[in-house]
Chain A
Amino acid sequence: MSVPDTKKTPLHEVHEGLGATVTEFAGYRMPLRYGSETAEHQAVRTSAGLFDLSHMGEIFVTGPQAGAALDYSLIGHLSALAVGRARYTMICDADGGVLDDLIVYRLAAETYLVVANAANAATVRSELTARAGKFDGATVDDRSDAYALVAVQGPKAQGILGKLTDAALGDLKYYAILPGAVSGVDALIARTGYTGEDGFELFVSAGDAVATWAALTEAGGDDLRPCGLSSRDTLRLEAGMPLYGNELTTETTPFDAGLGRTVKFDKGDFVGRAALAAIADKAPERTLVGLVARGRRVPRHGYDIVGSDGTPCGVVTSGAPSPTLGKPIAMGYIHAGHTEDTDLAVDIRGKHEPVDKVALPFYRRTP
């Protein structure tokens, strides 16, 4: 059997030099953690963390019909997006199932950058190419290998990045992007992230990744800690952000995940429209909820959520010990008819451990 080669990001040798524990994720060798993942998590909450996200897919959609092509391809209304702004959106199949969740940046009137999850980048590229094929004035170009993506996240992120750029970071709004030089390197500077903190994501040429990482490391000093995928997962979970493959799959719709507001029906036809319109005003078959364990055992992905009658009424999609709350937290789907049940437990390897249902997110930063 032939196994596809595992890909490395341009920062792979930097991670090895830092002694990272490396894991395979979405076909890439990625840093799981450099030291203590709890310390990495806390650094992002209280100071700043530095992430290599170069595995993510960068797909450009350009041309006079780029906006129209994205309106048809995605559930969001991207032609209405202002230049320099970003939108969280999804690409669905004809049945309304989620193929990926995306951030789309409008870089210029006729230039959009679609950022896809690494595991789905090939699907997003082929679907966008097929769907945009209906539009003569739109071109899809996957430049994932040409770009590195480095994120600086945390309350001290602006102060650190500000040392390296003249770009007007103070004027850059959340979910906005602007081009600028970072330590002399051309970058797209976006105020986006996946941690629940303020922070920036920097798109740079793959060849500039090592220099950019080094400049940030020097500018950040003790205030900036390299962070791996393990802390990235607990940070996003505390912030109540869905992860594709866990909360979002082709078997879930945006409405199931509580993200129905991202489906824009007032923009004309789009792939999945009929299926999504049919369920838009109905109670969803299942609802994404937050759970906090009363005990110390951790509800994890795939464990059954058990109702007051002792039978399964849902399933955990993500769970981890929360460094900020000091308790295990989880997200999961509860089937319709059980959403009012307040006496919930999770079947943790045969034992029903009580959990409390809470509103998401688990953590919200103080502005």
Chain B
Amino acid sequence: MSNVPETLSYTEEHEWITEPSDGVVTVGITAYAADALGDIVYVSLPQEGATVEAGEPCGEAESTKSVSDIYAPVTGEVVAVNGAVEEDPAVINTDPYGEGWLLKIRTDGDGPDLLDAPAYSKLIEEA
């Protein structure tokens, strides 16, 4: 079964999100999503300074077999983009919760409901 860290929150579209630190959250895609996609060969992310809206696509991930939208889990301003995964998207497959992070978003905290780790685990078990 895919790794689902207890400390993170999740979307139904398989993004993970940290608790805010000074109003900034870190966002990535889950091990389950990375595994389902297969080898990720290209990821497109919003620019630093862009505004993203919760539940709306803000990027895409291309693998051998498919392309998937990446959805913003919260509304806010993109304050950092992981250039290393743009250069070498395979990092998302090897370390989805660490070096494979995608975005840091400054958010006021209000946003749609997210899933906790047990709820997300249940979601992917039923998938």
Chain A contact residues, CB within 8 Å of chain B: 21, 32-33, 36-38, 230, 233-234, 296-298, 300, 320-321, 349
Contacts and interface: CB of A to CB of B under 8 A. Distances in A.
A38 B94 CA distance: 14
Interface in B48-95: 60, 62-65, 67, 93
Interface of B: 35, 38-39, 41-42, 44, 60, 62-65, 67, 93
B62 A36 contact: no
Contacts of A37: 38-39, 64-65
Given A296-B62, A321-B62, A321-B64, A230 B42 contact: no
Given A37-B39, A321-B41, A234 B62 contact: no
Contact of B64 (A234, A296, A349): A234
Kindly list the 4 A-B residue pairs having the minimum CB-CB distance in the complex, ordered from nearest.
A321-B41, A296-B42, A38-B39, A298-B62
B123 to A, nearest CB: 19
Contacts of A321: 41-42, 62-64
A148 B23 CA distance: 59
Contacts of A298: 41-42, 62, 67
Contacts of B67: 297-298, 300, 349
A321 B40 CA distance: 10
B64 A297 contact: no
A290 B60 CA distance: 25
B31 to A, nearest CB: 14
7 contacts: A32-B38, A37-B65, A38-B41, A230-B38, A296-B62, A297-B44, A297-B62
Contacts of B44: 297
B87 to A, nearest CB: 11
